[in-house]
Amino acid sequence: MTAYEPRASTGYEPRPVARYEPRPIAPAALAELRATDDAGRPCAPYTEAGAGAPLRCCLRGSEPGERIALVSYAPLRRWAAATGAAPGAYDEQGPVFIHAEECAGPDPERPDYPFSRPGALRTVRRYDARGHIVGGRLLEIPAEAEKGFDAAFDEAFADPEVALVHVRAVEYGCLHFEVRRP
């Protein structure tokens, strides 16, 4: 099932999306991270020699020659500031790749979930309105990745306590994208 959903909260144009919208890091947060990351370190851009670093600004893999940076990001921190949540110890930070300069954001034509290679392992971590973890599950991305993610999000949001979900890589623990209650 697809629909057009506005992306006013992220500043990007509408696009056809799966039932749940994978959210990139918001432009205002990216501007801050490109100066100083959430661990207080200055951004250190470099030219990508390989390819495939998962860029959280545009939800795609990097290309050779692009200027990118690996920064520390605390995803709950900005959400908590906007909602009044108090995540306490759950206000963790971790590494994410971003473009070193402003980019166009996610491709408006991308109909599927980002970084969804069949067989890859993801943690689907659930948070309540306080920003506390209220559960999660391991997801091995199936051949029909969209159906697998949709089922995991359906399961998560069936619990009325769940306000948002973070999809993280099992291998590194880093945030891939966020999905909020529809």
The answer to whether position 173 is within a domain reads no
**What is the reported pTM?**
0.86
Share of the chain above pLDDT 70, in %: 90
Mean pLDDT of 170-176: 90
Number of structural domains (the chain) is: 1
Answer whether residue 67 is part of any domain: yes
Could you tell me the residue range of the domain that residue 62 belongs to?
Answer: 23-99
Checking if the pLDDT of 166 tops 90, the result is yes
Phi, psi values for residue 89, rounded to 5°: -65, -15
Asked if residue 123 is part of any domain, the answer here is no
Residue 154 in domain: no
Judge whether 32 lies within some domain.
yes
90 falls within a domain: yes
So what's the pLDDT on residue 19? 78
| pLDDT tens readout for residues 110-120 | 878 999 999 99
